[in-house]
Structure 1
Amino acid sequence: MSKTSLLGQDHSSPLSTHSRPRALLESGCPLAGEASELSPAQTLIHLLKCNVGTGLLGLPLAVKNAGLLVGPVSLLAIGILTVHCMVILLNCAQHLTQRLQKTFVNYGETTMYSLECCASPWLRTHSAWGRYAVSFLLIVTQLGFCSVYFMFMADNLQQIVEEAHVLSNTCQPRRALELTPLLGIHSYMLTILPFLIMLVFIRNLKLLSIFSVLANVTTLGSTALIFEYIVQGIPYPSNLPLMANWKTFLLFFGTTIFTFEGVGMVLPLKNQMKNPQKFSIVLYLGMSLVIALYICMGTLGYMKFGSDTQASITLNLPNCWLYLSVKVMYSVGIFFTYALQFHVPAEIIVPLAVSQVSESWALLVDLAVRTALVCLTCVSAILVPRLDLVISLVGSVSSSALALVIPPLLEIVTFYPEDMSYVTVAKDIVISTLGLLGCILGTYQAIYEWAQPISHAVANSTGVYV
């Protein structure tokens, strides 16, 4: 979303619809540079980067929550539905840009213009609320990502510090060992907090692009090492259930949708390409690779660790120097990615706050709002100290709406006046209904698990395993 979209300014202004260098940052997928056009290969790299994050490491637990058979099949089905909804959004945006003679529209503007052109007078009158709703969901999603990053970094930092004295050069499977925690997990979150506050004070996009490159390198290296370990000596999964409890499946749904959340970046990516007509090929190729990666990580990770599978697969890795480097590299990548994900809600919220004060106070208010937002993500991480529940909650609440609920409804609103087939209408209603049910039930289950006494819940901390 653009800076001006929530300030009541003309949404057809150049900043809101033609800000190409910022387009990927506004979608939650930062551009590695400020070139105005991308080749298909560059677009594919950005597509993969935008879909591979902390959610990937939580997929083994997600498969555990669904079952060894149901998990991979459901991952494939949700992945196909998500890609289909991305294509729907692209088609709606292309149709509206041609009808309204626009150069580019983002997700929120697509929603607003679609409602402006629909047959219902009430929806036309309230069309701006569609853009506000999408902006709100993007803010919730991105700040949710940042809260997950807080917990992920704190979990790994705690494990690195408290198990450093038992590190060895020989990488053996983890075994149970009682350790006396040096500091609580909240202390590690508060230790990270000032460094993240200083990081988000950086507003220069070129400097942020350097962090994006570092995040790409560390993420790729650590993911390769994780696969190198989990493919070795996988035990025969005869004792693993093919289907899990339906309640835990709801947590699986939220985690999976969180991981697949990429629908908000397809429009800016297409707009950045030299040949936008080739984007469909890039999208299908890239998302096929992503789905295959997700299924392999989730299935192989669960088969490797079974009932001991943790909220992040990095917490299952052996306690040796090689796999300590995996935790360090992935944590470094997530640290830098925090600023990139944070830029999205900051670009929406900060201008609103700055517009309320005089120019002499603008910088102070800017920094204060950024600090408050970082502290908000830290407090959220402290209040829900389970990585798996936060991932599931964010996925169920906002990611499912952006990925599965809204795009099919947009297709109906956009194309129904033009003799849309009843089969397509029925298909869209079914997809939106499934997404809405997953949103409601997944949110309920995540909150229910959160409310349980800690003794009845699976703690996210894994300090007793080395």
Structure 2
Amino acid sequence: MEIPDAGASLPLLKSSAGGGGRASALQTLGNIIVSIVGTGILGLPYAFRVAGWFAGSLGVVIVGIATYYCMLLLIQCRDKLESDEGPEETKTYGDLGFKCMGKTGRYLTETLIFAAQCGGSIAYLVFIGRNMSSIFKSYGISMVSFIFMLVPIEIALSWVGSLSALSPFSIFADICNIIAMCFVVKENVEQVFGGDFSFSDRKAIASNVGGIPFAGGMAVFCFEGFAMTLALESSMRDKQEFPKLLAKVLTGITFVYVLFGFCGYMAYGDQTMDIITLNLPKNWSAIAVQIGLCVGLTFTFPIMVHPLNEIIEQKLKRTEWFQKHQYTDGTHSTTKLCRCVVYLTRTILVVGLATVASFVPGFGSFASLVGSTLCALISFVLPASFHLTLLGPSLNLWNKGLDVFIVLSGLVFAVYGTYNTIVGV
């Protein structure tokens, strides 16, 4: 299977034939933010509650630095392949896996990306279900009920052929995210200065050691969009400026993450919920923010699952049965039977994701689990492994040692973080 064009989910991404990018620095900046910042940020205050405000802040900073470094490793690996084999084809993450580990590497890389995309889509459904059930708590409608209420809507939206029709909703969701963050910060400040606040009650480092890897998993989940690195760099007109631009953007995002997590935990302390919007007062403005977030994510969900649909359909179209029945005689028009099969696979995917989401016990624990396993492997272990394999002979001892350290640390973090998330912190 192949990962589809990343530009499908980024309205500002401009790709061109021959691999030449046409996106300006401002457009690339916007795409980096859209790729990385998601609903995970609203779970950071809870991660700070679990780990402590100092440990949580330090964890986010470390993850931000490691993310930047490993993104550059991925670009160096792609540049190495292009210098050896020619620049006629832009290498994907899966191509790097194939070059380093053969078919096993390709399937491992793309399976992890596929699973991580599924995890992000499930997190969307859980987020919507938790928020909507809290708003309509007096009516006794559960999170699971709201998730399955969304299924017919998401199935219909997943049948939309053109993502350009849905891209305005993605921008709307990003605007809602920004408004929600500002509103939450305002409420946090009012809570701190207007409530019974005591800084001594806020832990700097949690006594439970398992809280630190839990918060680390949440932080890794918040720096999502790692698989977009190569597409983002390729889309930029002046590629030499990409590392500097990426450093500035990730520095800003890391600062916002730390500030947001710190303020949320300071405001609510041990009462901080796994989604900070659940701590908001039940007035009309807070409810409007929550509903706006949920509506935006409802229409963004089809964009999240679009790469999954393309991967599944690419595999489907390679089957002998599909190729036999794909076109009507004498034309290149897809038969109704094949279109129905495609719609059926999209329906099954949405129902499957909703079913898994209905069993998720909480947004925070699920996000940390995805971050500790899938995202950690994609973001740290694989890039450092590829870098050692492709550029190992030319690396100095320091760079080799750093790559080995990242690989080992990523694997230990994945195992230990997963254990703590499942057992409970």
TM-score using structure 1 length: 0.82
CA distance in 1 between counterparts of 2:227 and 2:122 reads 19
CA distance in 2 between counterparts of 1:250 and 1:57 reads 18
**Corresponding position of 2:10:** 30
Query: What are structure 1's unaligned runs of at least 5 residues?
Result: 7-15, 17-21, 116-122, 164-180, 450-456, 458-466
CA distance in 1 between counterparts of 2:190 and 2:408 reads 41
User: What is the DSSP-based 3-state SS (H/G/I as helix, E as strand, rest coil) of the residue aligned with 1:443?
Assistant: helix
**Corresponding position of 1:118:** none
User: What is the DSSP-based 3-state SS (H/G/I as helix, E as strand, rest coil) of the residue aligned with 2:199?
Assistant: coil
Q: Cα offset for 1:417?
A: 2.6
Q: Deviations over 1:7-49 (max 9, x none)?
A: xxxxxxxxx8xxxxx3333xxx523466642110111111111
CA distance in 2 between counterparts of 1:291 and 1:321 reads 31
Q: Cα offset for 1:105?
A: 1.1
**Superposed, which structure 2 residues align to 1:386-405 within 5 Å?**
386-405=362-381
Which amino acid in the other structure matches residue 398 of structure 2?
V
**Superposed, which structure 2 residues align to 1:131-210 within 5 Å?**
131-162=106-137, 182-210=140-168
CA distance in 1 between counterparts of 2:205 and 2:374 reads 26
Q: Deviations over 1:153-172 (max 9, x none)?
A: 01111122235xxxxxxxxx
Select 1:76's aligned residue among 57, 61, 71.
61
Query: What are structure 2's unaligned runs of at least 5 residues?
Result: 17-21, 327-334
User: What is the DSSP-based 3-state SS (H/G/I as helix, E as strand, rest coil) of the residue aligned with 2:399?
Assistant: helix
Q: Cα offset for 1:232?
A: 2.6
Select 1:109's aligned residue among 95, 98, 106.
95
Q: Deviations over 1:367-411 (max 9, x none)?
A: 111111111111111122311121111112210000111111111
Select 2:176's aligned residue among 211, 215, 218.
218
**Corresponding position of 1:236:** 198
Which amino acid in the other structure matches residue 107 of structure 2?
Y
Q: 1:435 aligned to 2:410?
A: yes
Select 1:269's aligned residue among 206, 226, 232.
232
**Corresponding position of 1:5:** 2
Task: Tell me if the contact between 1:354 and 1:366 (Cα under 8 Å) persists in the aligned partners.
Answer: no
**Corresponding position of 1:88:** 73
Q: 1:423 aligned to 2:398?
A: yes
Task: Tell me if the contact between 1:108 and 1:131 (Cα under 8 Å) persists in the aligned partners.
Answer: yes
Select 2:248's aligned residue among 280, 285, 288.
285
**Corresponding position of 2:329:** none
**Superposed, which structure 2 residues align to 1:295-374 within 5 Å?**
295-356=258-319, 357=322, 358-359=325-326, 360=335, 361-374=337-350
Task: Tell me if the contact between 2:173 and 2:300 (Cα under 8 Å) persists in the aligned partners.
Answer: yes
User: What is the DSSP-based 3-state SS (H/G/I as helix, E as strand, rest coil) of the residue aligned with 1:231?
Assistant: helix
Q: Report how many residues are paired.
A: 401
Comparing 393-402 and 212-221, the one that deviates more? 212-221
Task: Tell me if the contact between 1:30 and 1:340 (Cα under 8 Å) persists in the aligned partners.
Answer: no
CA distance in 2 between counterparts of 1:226 and 1:393 reads 25
Which amino acid in the other structure matches residue 118 of structure 2?
L
CA distance in 1 between counterparts of 2:107 and 2:409 reads 23
Identity of aligned residues (%): 28
CA distance in 2 between counterparts of 1:238 and 1:334 reads 37
User: What is the DSSP-based 3-state SS (H/G/I as helix, E as strand, rest coil) of the residue aligned with 2:11?
Assistant: coil
Comparing 209-218 and 185-194, the one that deviates more? 209-218
Task: Tell me if the contact between 1:353 and 1:365 (Cα under 8 Å) persists in the aligned partners.
Answer: no
Which amino acid in the other structure matches residue 377 of structure 1?
L
User: What is the DSSP-based 3-state SS (H/G/I as helix, E as strand, rest coil) of the residue aligned with 1:246?
Assistant: coil
Task: Tell me if the contact between 2:381 and 2:406 (Cα under 8 Å) persists in the aligned partners.
Answer: yes
